[in-house]
A and B are shown apart, each in its own frame.
Chain A
Amino acid sequence: MILLHVIGFGLKVGHLLLILCGWFLSLISLNLLINGGIMTNKISLPHEEGHLWMKMREQISELGCKIHHNYSQYIGSRKVRKNWWRKLLVAWIGLGIISSFSVLWYMSSQSVEKRKETLASMCDERARMLQDQFNVSMNHLQAMSVVVSIFYHGKNPSAIDQRTFARYTDRTAFERPLTSGVAYAVRVLNSEREQFEAQQGWTIKRMDNVEQTPVHEDEYNPADLEPSPVEDEYAPVVFAQDTVSHVISVDMLSGKEDGENVLRARESGKGVLTAPFPLLKTNRLGVILTFAVYKKDLSPDATPTERIQETAGYLGGIFDIESLVEKLLQQLASKQTILVNVYDTSNFSQPISMYGSNTSSDGLRHVSALNFGDPFRKHEMHCRFKQKPPWPWVAITTSVGILIITLLVAQIFHATMNRITKVEDDYHEMMELKKRAEAADIAKSQFLATVSHEIRTPMNGVLGMLHMLMDTYLDETQQDYVRTARESGKALVSLINQVLDQAKIESGKLELEEVSFDLRAILDDVLSLFSGKLQDKRVELAGYVSSKVPSTLVGDPQRFRQIVTNLVGNSIKFTDKGHIFVTVHLGEEVAGLMEVERDPNSTLSGLPVADRTRSMAGFKTFNQEGSPYTSLSSPDNQVNIIVSVEDTGQGIPFEAQARVFNPFMQVGPSISRTHGGTGIGLSISKCLVHLMKGEIGLSSLPQIGSTFTFTAIFTNGGQEVNNQNNFISSEFEGMRALLVDPNPVRAKVSKYHIQRLGIQVEVVSNLNQDFSSLNMLFIEEEVWDKNLGRMDFGISPKVFILSNSVSSTRSIFSAPGVVTPFIVMKPLRASMLAASLQRAMGVGNKEKYRNGELRMLSLNNLLRGRRILVVDDNPVNLKVAAGALKKYGAEVVHAERGKEAISLLTPPHCFDACFMDIQMPEMDGFEATKRIRDTELSINNRIQLGELSVEDYENVSNWHVRIMAMTADVIQATYEECLKCGMDGYVSKPFEAEQLYREVSRFFHTVNDVNP
């Protein structure tokens, strides 16, 4: 039973836990799927678990829904939610305590019930046994009464005397285990008394005294008893078992109990019991069972009167209840566990204890009725457990278990809620931090913008000063220094711009310019930018541009330069010996070169390098099937440029090669300490290359070197490829030179640069030549060093040594007795070479190289004769702008109002361009431009439709005047904004010659294309 209960309870607890788990799961899943709205609870369950599970699941999910509903309702107010779950927690703990106590109560009541049942069954068992044994005794007594009736009364003379009776009863005592003694009394009427007394030889004695004055057993003597007074009839005992022989001659009717008993017995004809009374002699409690012995067999329905008349005597059995019950109980195994009391309850209000100690009757009790066959007498057996009931340990442990489980679940819940709260707090904190971080990011951008603006302003001063310096009279070296300084300054400004660009690139807002530029000049600039850095390193820096690359390309020179600068700068950082070699080829060329296997040792400095082709291995362009360049070369005049930067530096470890293009990622933390830098350069380069529709790749061998290669797509500048007349300077044209260099790669580079000046170059590998017909002789430094002192060139050629570093030049000068050669510092670049040659040869006109004048000349070319409308509300500004434009030869017309400009620019008109101030009263520049564009559009449409004749509009069918915005604030008025309202570009106010040139060249160039 207990086991079953425990199992049942265990199942209940398990069920409860499952519900809880389900509820938690649904809560968690709901939280997780807060937006998805998918109920994971609906996952189909195995069929056998089926219906019940589904029901439960639904309930759980409903509950979850409700809770979640509440939850989401309260999600705004954390305090309320906290209270809510605290209440739930308290309720849960309360529920747990209640259930634990109810389980305790239930289980202990179960055990009490069980105990009761056990007691009842034990009690009943004892009662039944007692009753049975009693009945057995009673039956035997009855049988004895029959014996007496037959042998005593039925025979004359009697067959039984006292000795026979005593012997018989003694020997049959085992039949009557409950009787301590048997006696027989005959009925003697008063009339027969004397006869009887004489016959027996003793007088009938009365009994009552005996009862009233109990005496000790040994003192008891029946002879002391008083003779019975005269009565109607007597019932003296004639026979008795030896154990009770002392009652012989005592009149049973004289005893109060016995008398009643005898009377009742003869009336009923059944065994009749006395109330328990202390027995004579033993003084122990006992009852007497009395049977009437009749003279003849009576019918069962004989009347009491008949019975009385027929009564011959009375057989009595003495039952010593106490000893008997004890004897009985000893037979039973579990005697120790219970206490038995037997009561005579005939008089209900005053039960007489027949057996058992009269201890307090608290605690569990069971009452079993005893039926001894006498309807007048009622007996009860009261049973109690000896021991106090044991503690209900199972119930206690179970309820404690429930309590613990409840508390644990509560703890889990509490912890979960705390966790959720904490996570939410963290989340809010994170949101706060995120907001702050975003604000900081904005602040950072603003800071960057401000700072870069602030830096640009003084940098413009520096650049302007350098610009002015270049306009002054400088010798070639000074000019080169100034040029380098200026380019460096410009690079710095562009770097600042690039820092700003990084943000733009990341947000995809960067746009490339489309201007024509000279790639070779850009490369020269980059090389000269780094030449200073290489002075103290023994690293040769060289650039080579394939002759097939057009001299003018259209694209974004600044960005191209940025990429090359980044790559070269990167290489310089990591290279301490050998060379850095920048090559520019056309895509088609390299595809051809790739097929020709290169000699790995034929490099610029003779040191091995990483294979360039491997750096291009990932390029899609080269992996395409078929001929890859048919699509790239020129339906729309596109030029695919491949630039390689090859160095013999320390290389990049293989594991780091994959991530060098990630922003702020360097090979290792020690790298930034050793070499500095932000690690942003390569990332920007990659972005820029992608913007140029190209690809970038790298091939690197540790301790050998790296080769970065990228492709970029530009538009052909329109001029013929490999234009021989397009030299940097013309004064050397047609001269002949010999280049002495055993290294073919290096020779190729030197030859390329010398040829750019228009000089015909022949390459030889040693000095054993005839130099007489030459104008100049270029000798590699290493060749010169080897042949030092064995040289005799005569006088005709000028000798130039191509040298790498300042330190080595000194050694050349210190060599005595030799023709003093001219030193040409590497890296070679056209302007530098030209300057050196000029100095050596004494030719050329310095003034021709004054950049400012050159630019001014070109501006003059562009603007001369152009009719330009300048619109500005500020008369002073108007005058300044007009003055600047007039200086370059343009014809300037003023307008002070936007409306004025509109009327002037309504076709037909003869303006080539319009410079429009943006911020004007009444109508600003944007608005005016829009209106002008609208007017132009409607007129163009009408001309096309034939409503207006083209002749009236100077034979121009497509009117579009070039409008340039003038603004003081270049940052505010962005290029896009100008384009949006139909402007063609913008110039900053006040005019700067270079910017003006750039903008004007952009569209007057195209104007020329459209209207030649």
Chain B
Amino acid sequence: MEIVGQLQKQFVDFTTSLYREGILDGQFVELQKLQDESTPDFVCELVSEYFQDSEKILTNLTTALQQQVVNFKVVDDHVHQFKGSSSSMGALRVRNMCIAFKSLCEEKNLDGCLRCLQQLKHEFYLVKNKWETLFRLERQILEAGGAVPFVDYRFY
């Protein structure tokens, strides 16, 4: 039980830091609330779906920005999609980056877009990393026989 308590504390601290650093926002809490006994892996599935989708989008974006003549409409569509899924997931920093990216797209600022893409990738891999850590902690808690505590950032 000692281990479980530590893990739970670690989990809470970690989750709290995610909210505090602005990596995640309330939407993720909403998602967690949608998860119940009937759909125990809902969030996990959703996140992996998000990873797949996002990596695809990032590849597409990279390709689109490497074209001789960059079609900014296409870029914008990709970014928009990325923004939509990120905001549904509550990946706040990715979403904000997408918003910045979109405005650069409107300006047709290729250099800015390329820089932004790098930052976007950075943010995405950051949140991916965080989520993976989060789910690992969750699994460890469950394996240790504890209950995953419900953390709502809005109390911090």
Q: Which residues of A contact B (CB under 8 A)?
A: 461, 464-465, 468, 873-877, 879-880, 883-884, 886-887, 919, 921, 968, 989-992
Q: Chain B interface mostly helix, strand, loop or mixed? A: helix
A181 and B77 alpha carbons, distance in the complex (Å): 145
State how many angstroms separate the Cβ of B120 from the closest Cβ of chain A. 16
- Chain A residues with CB under 8 Å of B152's CB are 468
- Chain B residues with CB under 8 Å of A461's CB are 26, 154
State how many angstroms separate the Cβ of A75 from the closest Cβ of chain B. 42
B50 A876 Cβ-Cβ under 8 A: yes
B81 A874 Cβ-Cβ under 8 A: yes
- Chain B residues with CB under 8 Å of A989's CB are 84, 87-88
A876 B80 Cβ-Cβ under 8 A: no
- Chain B residues with CB under 8 Å of A875's CB are 49, 53, 85
A877 and B31 alpha carbons, distance in the complex (Å): 11
A468 and B26 alpha carbons, distance in the complex (Å): 11
- Chain B residues with CB under 8 Å of A990's CB are 27, 30, 87-88
B53 A883 Cβ-Cβ under 8 A: no
Contacting residues of chain B (134-156) with chain A, CB-CB under 8 angstroms: 152, 154-155
B24 interfacial contact with A, CB 8 Å: no
B154 A919 Cβ-Cβ under 8 A: no
- Chain B residues with CB under 8 Å of A879's CB are 45-46, 49
State how many angstroms separate the Cβ of B31 from the closest Cβ of chain A. 6
B154 A883 Cβ-Cβ under 8 A: no
B111 interfacial contact with A, CB 8 Å: no
Those 7 A-B pairs whose CB atoms lie nearest each other, nearest first: A876-B85, A880-B88, A465-B154, A874-B84, A877-B88, A883-B34, A876-B50
Among B39, B49, B87, B88, the residue within 8 A (CB) of A886 is B39
B42 interfacial contact with A, CB 8 Å: yes
A883 B39 Cβ-Cβ under 8 A: yes
A840 and B16 alpha carbons, distance in the complex (Å): 40
B36 interfacial contact with A, CB 8 Å: yes
State how many angstroms separate the Cβ of B32 from the closest Cβ of chain A. 11
Contacting residues of chain B (77-93) with chain A, CB-CB under 8 angstroms: 77, 80-81, 84-85, 87-89
Among A876, A919, A921, A991, the residue within 8 A (CB) of B53 is A876
- Chain A residues with CB under 8 Å of B53's CB are 874-876
Contacting residues of chain B (31-86) with chain A, CB-CB under 8 angstroms: 31, 34-36, 39, 42, 45-46, 49-50, 53, 77, 80-81, 84-85
A965 and B81 alpha carbons, distance in the complex (Å): 17
- Given the known interface contacts A461-B154, A464-B26, A464-B154, the answer about A887 and B34 at a Cβ–Cβ threshold of 8 Å is yes
Q: Can you list 6 A-B pairs, Cβ within 8 angstroms, ordered by A?
A: A874-B85, A876-B49, A876-B84, A879-B46, A921-B77, A989-B87
State how many angstroms separate the Cβ of B44 from the closest Cβ of chain A. 12
A968 and B34 alpha carbons, distance in the complex (Å): 19
Among A464, A874, A884, A992, the residue within 8 A (CB) of B34 is A884
Using CB atoms, name the residue of chain A closest to B46.
Answer: A879
A876 and B46 alpha carbons, distance in the complex (Å): 7
- Given the known interface contacts A465-B154, A886-B39, A990-B88, the answer about A880 and B81 at a Cβ–Cβ threshold of 8 Å is no
- Given the known interface contacts A875-B49, A876-B85, A990-B88, the answer about A887 and B36 at a Cβ–Cβ threshold of 8 Å is yes
Q: 7 other contacts beyond A876-B46, A887-B36, with CB at 8 A cut-off?
A: A465-B154, A465-B155, A876-B89, A880-B34, A880-B88, A880-B89, A989-B88
A883 and B87 alpha carbons, distance in the complex (Å): 15
State how many angstroms separate the Cβ of B75 from the closest Cβ of chain A. 13
- Chain A residues with CB under 8 Å of B77's CB are 921
- Chain A residues with CB under 8 Å of B85's CB are 874-877
- Chain B residues with CB under 8 Å of A874's CB are 53, 81, 84-85, 88
A887 and B34 alpha carbons, distance in the complex (Å): 6
A876 B154 Cβ-Cβ under 8 A: no
A461 and B19 alpha carbons, distance in the complex (Å): 13
A886 and B34 alpha carbons, distance in the complex (Å): 9
- Chain A residues with CB under 8 Å of B80's CB are 919
- Given the known interface contacts A874-B81, A876-B49, A880-B46, the answer about A468 and B88 at a Cβ–Cβ threshold of 8 Å is no
Q: How large is the interface on B (under 10, 10 to 19, 20 to 34, 35 or more residues)?
A: 20 to 34
A886 and B85 alpha carbons, distance in the complex (Å): 19
The digit string for B101-130, where 1 denotes a CB below 8 A from any CB of A, is: 000000000000000000000000000000
State how many angstroms separate the Cβ of B90 from the closest Cβ of chain A. 8
A815 and B84 alpha carbons, distance in the complex (Å): 64
A883 and B89 alpha carbons, distance in the complex (Å): 12
Using CB atoms, name the residue of chain B closest to A856.
Answer: B33
- Given the known interface contacts A883-B39, A968-B87, the answer about A873 and B81 at a Cβ–Cβ threshold of 8 Å is yes
State how many angstroms separate the Cβ of A478 from the closest Cβ of chain B. 15
A717 and B30 alpha carbons, distance in the complex (Å): 32
State how many angstroms separate the Cβ of A896 from the closest Cβ of chain B. 11
A883 B49 Cβ-Cβ under 8 A: no
- Chain A residues with CB under 8 Å of B81's CB are 873-874
Using CB atoms, name the residue of chain A closest to B50.
Answer: A876
- Chain A residues with CB under 8 Å of B84's CB are 874, 876-877, 919, 968, 989
- Given the known interface contacts A883-B46, A921-B77, the answer about A876 and B34 at a Cβ–Cβ threshold of 8 Å is no
- Chain B residues with CB under 8 Å of A886's CB are 39
- Chain A residues with CB under 8 Å of B31's CB are 880, 883
- Chain A residues with CB under 8 Å of B154's CB are 461, 464-465, 468
State how many angstroms separate the Cβ of B121 from the closest Cβ of chain A. 18
State how many angstroms separate the Cβ of A965 from the closest Cβ of chain B. 14
A461 and B50 alpha carbons, distance in the complex (Å): 25
Q: Which of A886, A921, A968, A990 has the most chain B CB atoms closer than 10 A to its own CB? A: A990
- Chain A residues with CB under 8 Å of B42's CB are 883
A876 and B152 alpha carbons, distance in the complex (Å): 22
- Chain A residues with CB under 8 Å of B155's CB are 465, 468
- Chain B residues with CB under 8 Å of A887's CB are 34, 36
Q: Which of A461, A880, A968, A991 has the most chain B CB atoms closer than 10 A to its own CB? A: A880
Using CB atoms, name the residue of chain A closest to B56.
Answer: A875
- Chain A residues with CB under 8 Å of B39's CB are 883, 886
Q: Which of A877, A921, A991 has the most chain B CB atoms closer than 10 A to its own CB? A: A877
A991 and B27 alpha carbons, distance in the complex (Å): 9
Using CB atoms, name the residue of chain A closest to B54.
Answer: A876
- Chain A residues with CB under 8 Å of B36's CB are 887
- Chain B residues with CB under 8 Å of A883's CB are 31, 34-35, 39, 42, 46
State how many angstroms separate the Cβ of B93 from the closest Cβ of chain A. 16
Using CB atoms, name the residue of chain A closest to B77.
Answer: A921
- Chain A residues with CB under 8 Å of B88's CB are 874, 876-877, 880, 989-990
A540 and B22 alpha carbons, distance in the complex (Å): 47
State how many angstroms separate the Cβ of A864 from the closest Cβ of chain B. 14
Using CB atoms, name the residue of chain A closest to B25.
Answer: A461
- Chain A residues with CB under 8 Å of B87's CB are 968, 989-990
- Chain B residues with CB under 8 Å of A992's CB are 30
Using CB atoms, name the residue of chain B closest to A919.
Answer: B80
- Chain B residues with CB under 8 Å of A873's CB are 81
A461 and B77 alpha carbons, distance in the complex (Å): 29
A919 and B84 alpha carbons, distance in the complex (Å): 10
State how many angstroms separate the Cβ of B96 from the closest Cβ of chain A. 13
A877 and B34 alpha carbons, distance in the complex (Å): 14
A875 and B152 alpha carbons, distance in the complex (Å): 25
Q: Which of B35, B36, B77, B84 has the most chain A CB atoms closer than 10 A to its own CB? A: B84
State how many angstroms separate the Cβ of A99 from the closest Cβ of chain B. 71
A968 and B155 alpha carbons, distance in the complex (Å): 25
- Chain B residues with CB under 8 Å of A465's CB are 154-155
Using CB atoms, name the residue of chain A closest to B154.
Answer: A465
A989 and B30 alpha carbons, distance in the complex (Å): 12
A875 and B87 alpha carbons, distance in the complex (Å): 13
Using CB atoms, name the residue of chain B closest to A852.
Answer: B33
Using CB atoms, name the residue of chain A closest to B52.
Answer: A875
A439 and B45 alpha carbons, distance in the complex (Å): 50
Q: Which of B53, B80, B88 has the most chain A CB atoms closer than 10 A to its own CB? A: B88
State how many angstroms separate the Cβ of A809 from the closest Cβ of chain B. 32
Q: Which of B49, B53, B154 has the most chain A CB atoms closer than 10 A to its own CB? A: B154
State how many angstroms separate the Cβ of B56 from the closest Cβ of chain A. 10
State how many angstroms separate the Cβ of B156 from the closest Cβ of chain A. 10
State how many angstroms separate the Cβ of A871 from the closest Cβ of chain B. 13
- Chain B residues with CB under 8 Å of A464's CB are 26, 154
